[in-house]
């Protein structure tokens, strides 16, 4: 018990600091940093307990605030900087977690224990519910109960899929049915400190995020351009699909993000990637460095509205106050203008055969509308829309003829991030369909071999 007191005391204050940082983004209708990125900083200890407590406190924060203010818990207190700690302590009190008098804040909350619990009961009676989840909005309950599997992409530059599967099989890992280099583990599996992650043999990457590189499907000897590359997960995925051959040029305009990109490339051991501190829109398609580029991956800045669950932005109070909190019209219009300009520029490279445009957004304005706006320009350069993963059941919104070629993913429905993917294929390229069929055949062959190997092991 002696070790438990200071541990809880410290974790709660750590959670309160993170909560303060997260709530600071409310005025911008966006978290200043994702909850996970704040929790998984090197300075944070007891990460699993910290993540659980911050998520649960945020989940029930509207209820907690209602109760705290109804009993005047924060009134008359001089140090307003401790509000978040009182929210955390009230959370633990409501959920009957042990609170010991290890600090003056704990002592004060314990002195108001009866009043806080009575206020909770009154609120439940007022709302005519029998459990605390009944106090949450329906949409919020759906998102918060969305158990997304832990996906990990195998970095085949360092390790084979079968080798990774063998090392992670005891954790329940299975090979994804759609993407052959992706492993699926149970929701909540924590691999952040796993040796395979630290050495770059596997990457913690959502299923949706792995789709664009697979759709681009560059040949090993090609020259490929990743237009907006940081943090680099898709960049190193391309390098792996090319078996470490050819060349991937990765562009990143922002200096801080450039360092993240370089770190990712180094960790992956991808020697066929050339990182450039460069604005993609200022590249000359006819310059000697780019006139042989055969494929371009364009995953530009977007609203990120599809990563709500992954970032845990749906836990922010502003999301409960305004369900459209990420859909600020002016911001979306600015992003869409940049996205359209970048896509037109990508289609202007003389030797390019395939361009993949993807976003982690669910907004039509950034997705179907952008694609539709460049169709005439695309046709002038002999491009047409290719069908993205034909077997995927969920297509683009039917807002123009051809939207059935596009792909959408949804967090609740597909148990991954909300993503949008479009593929442009130059009509003079006759090999794309043959390459797609060949790769599908190779995937099926690997699946068959894996099943036979598993059966042999069982026998």
Residues that are catalytic: 360
**Bond preceding residue 231 cis, omega within 30 of 0:** yes
The number of CA neighbours under 13 Å toward the Cβ of 270 is 32
Residue 162, exposed/middle/buried by CB under 10 A (0-12, 13-18, 19+)?
middle
| Residues constituting the chain | 459
Please give the angle made by the CA atoms of 307, 310 and 316, to the nearest 5 degrees. 85
Closest CA to 158 of 190, 203, 211: 203
CA 449/CA 447 separation, integer angstroms:
5
Q: What are the CA-CA distances from residue 379 to residues 199, 212, 351, 364, 383 (Å)?
A: 44, 22, 15, 22, 5
Pair 442, 457: CB distance under 8 Å: no
Rounded-to-integer distance, Cα 425 and Cα 163, Å: 35
| 85 in Cβ contact with 74 (< 8 Å) | no
Encoding tokens for residue 411?
A: 């967090």
Cα 446 versus chain centre, distance: 28
């Amino acid at each position: 018990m002696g070790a438990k007191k200071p541990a809880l005391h410290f974790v709660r204050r750590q959670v309160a600091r993170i909560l303060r940082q997260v709530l600071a983004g409310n005025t911008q209708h966006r978290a200043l940093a994702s909850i996970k990125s704040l929790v998984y900083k090197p300075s944070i200890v007891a990460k699993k307990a910290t993540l659980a407590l911050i998520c649960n406190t945020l989940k029930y924060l509207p209820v907690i605030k209602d109760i705290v203010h109804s009993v005047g818990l924060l009134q008359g207190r001089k140090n307003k900087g401790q509000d978040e700690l009182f929210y955390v302590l009230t959370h633990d009190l409501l959920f009957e977690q042990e609170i010991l008098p290890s600090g003056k804040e704990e002592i004060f909350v314990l002195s108001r224990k009866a009043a806080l619990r009575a206020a909770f009961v009154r609120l439940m009676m007022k709302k005519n519910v029998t459990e605390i989840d009944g106090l949450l909005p329906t949409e919020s309950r759906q998102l918060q109960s969305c158990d997304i599997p832990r996906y990990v992409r195998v970095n085949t530059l360092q390790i084979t899929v079968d080798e990774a599967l063998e090392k992670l099989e005891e954790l329940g890992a299975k090979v994804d049915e759609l993407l052959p280099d992706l492993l699926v583990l149970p929701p909540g599996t924590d691999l952040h400190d796993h040796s395979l992650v630290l050495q770059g043999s596997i990457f913690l990457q959502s299923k949706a995020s792995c789709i664009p590189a697979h759709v681009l499907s560059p040949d090993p000897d090609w020259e490929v351009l990743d237009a907006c590359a940081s943090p680099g997960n898709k960049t190193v995925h391309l390098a792996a699909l090319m078996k470490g051959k050819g060349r991937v040029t990765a562009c990143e305009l922002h200096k801080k993000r450039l360092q993240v990109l370089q770190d990712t490339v180094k960790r992956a051991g991808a020697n066929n990637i050339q990182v450039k501190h460069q604005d993609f829109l200022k590249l000359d398609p006819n310059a000697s460095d780019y006139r042989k580029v055969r494929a371009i991956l364009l995953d530009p800045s977007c609203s990120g509205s599809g990563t709500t669950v992954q970032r845990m932005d749906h836990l922010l109070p502003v999301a409960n106050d305004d369900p459209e909190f990420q859909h600020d019209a002016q911001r979306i219009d600015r992003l869409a203008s940049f996205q359209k300009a970048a896509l037109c520029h990508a289609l202007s490279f003389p030797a390019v055969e395939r361009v993949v445009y993807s976003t982690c957004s669910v907004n039509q304005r950034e997705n179907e509308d952008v694609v539709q706006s460049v169709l005439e320009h695309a046709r002038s350069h002999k491009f047409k829309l290719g069908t993205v993963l034909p077997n995927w059941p969920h297509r683009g919104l039917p807002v123009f003829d051809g939207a059935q070629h596009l792909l959408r993913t949804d967090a609740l429905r597909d148990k991954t991030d909300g993503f949008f993917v479009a593929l442009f294929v130059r009509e003079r390229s006759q090999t794309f369909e043959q390459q797609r069929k060949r790769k599908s055949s190779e995937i099926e062959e690997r699946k068959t071999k894996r099943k036979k190997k598993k059966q042999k092991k069982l026998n």
